[in-house]
């Protein structure tokens, strides 16, 4: 029990990890803790709406832990070029440290969720990844381009980077997003293509 409390106090640090996206109604960047809450509830609601035949409990659980590694490794902008293998190793090390604070059976359970999400092989992990990728797209579309314009990200880069994961994990979501992204392109929500 005290070990589990130590774990809960340690994860408090995720409230201080800033992402590159801003909440719709705030000027500040969002942090990874509030992002994790939003996508967990997003996934739970969307799975219910689409009547998906997957284990939603595991999806939600994965989304609650999927970014814990950022406590040690910081946020990495999804549109960054390269460095992703080193990044994965750093996150795994962080997860082992943080989950290691909890009793072994609890820590192993949490680490297992992170590994399943990271592997992205189960239907649950692919749906969870689709939701995770989709959320900042929705926020940016509702911020007239938001972090895409702020950080020089083109329409092509967004479609190439997040499209396959969203399409693979939740086809309906990608079918919904595609015309929204095209409309955003016409409205000037993206940086010019660098290619």
Which spans of this chain sit near a second copy (rule: CB under 8 A)? 1-5, 7-9, 11-16, 23-26, 30-31, 33-34, 36-38, 40-42, 44-46, 48-50, 56-57, 60-61, 64-65, 102-103, 105-106, 109-110, 135, 138-139, 142, 172-173, 176
d(CA 57, CA 155): 34
> Shortest gap between Cβ of 12 and a second copy (angstroms)?
5
Count of CA atoms in the C-beta half-sphere (13 A) of 93: 9
Closer residue to a second copy, CB minimum distance, 44 or 90: 44
Name the minimum Å distance from CB 157 to a second copy.
22
Of the pair 139, 181, the CB lying nearest a second copy is at: 139
Report the nearest approach of a second copy to the CB of residue 52 (Å).
Answer: 12
Give the list of residues 6+ apart from residue 89 with CB closer than 8 angstroms, or none: none
Residue 167 Cβ, how far from a second copy at the closest point, in Å? 15
Query: In the complex with a second copy, which residue's Cβ is closer, 8 or 119?
Result: 8
Give every CB contact of residue 142 below 8 A, 6+ residues apart in sequence: 24
Minimum gap (Å) between residue 86 Cβ and a second copy? 26
2 vs 82, which CB is nearer to a second copy?
Answer: 2
User: Nearest to residue 79, comparing CAs of 181, 174, 148, 143?
Assistant: 148
Closest CB to a second copy among residues 135, 158: 135
Rounded CA gap, 6 and 101, in Å? Answer: 6
Cβ closer to a second copy: 84 or 176?
176
Output the smallest distance, CB 15 to a second copy, in A.
4
**What is the rounded distance in angstroms from the CA atom of residue 85 to the CA atom of residue 193?**
26
Query: Kind and range of the H or E element at 137?
Result: helix 123-141
Residue 60, CA distances (Å) to 46, 57, 86, 175, 192 in order:
11, 5, 26, 23, 36
């Amino acid at each position: 029990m005290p070990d589990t409390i130590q774990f809960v106090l340690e994860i408090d640090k995720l409230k201080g990890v800033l992402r590159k996206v801003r909440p719709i109604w705030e000027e500040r960047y969002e942090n990874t803790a509030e992002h994790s809450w939003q996508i967990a509830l997003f996934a739970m609601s969307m799975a219910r709406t689409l009547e998906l035949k997957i284990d939603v409990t595991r999806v939600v659980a994965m989304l609650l832990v999927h970014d814990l590694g950022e406590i040690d490794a910081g946020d990495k902008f999804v549109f960054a070029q390269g460095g992703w293998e080193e990044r994965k190793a750093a996150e795994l090390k962080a997860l082992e440290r943080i989950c290691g604070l909890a009793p072994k059976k609890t820590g192993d359970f949490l680490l297992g969720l992170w590994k399943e999400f990271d592997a992205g092989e189960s239907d649950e992990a692919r749906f969870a990844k689709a939701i995770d990728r989709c959320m900042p797209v929705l926020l940016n579309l509702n911020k007239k381009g938001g972090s895409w314009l702020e950080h020089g990200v083109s329409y092509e880069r967004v479609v190439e980077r997040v499209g396959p994961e969203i399409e693979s994990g939740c086809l309906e979501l990608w079918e919904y997003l595609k015309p929204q992204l095209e409309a955003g392109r016409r409205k000037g929500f993206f940086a010019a293509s660098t290619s």
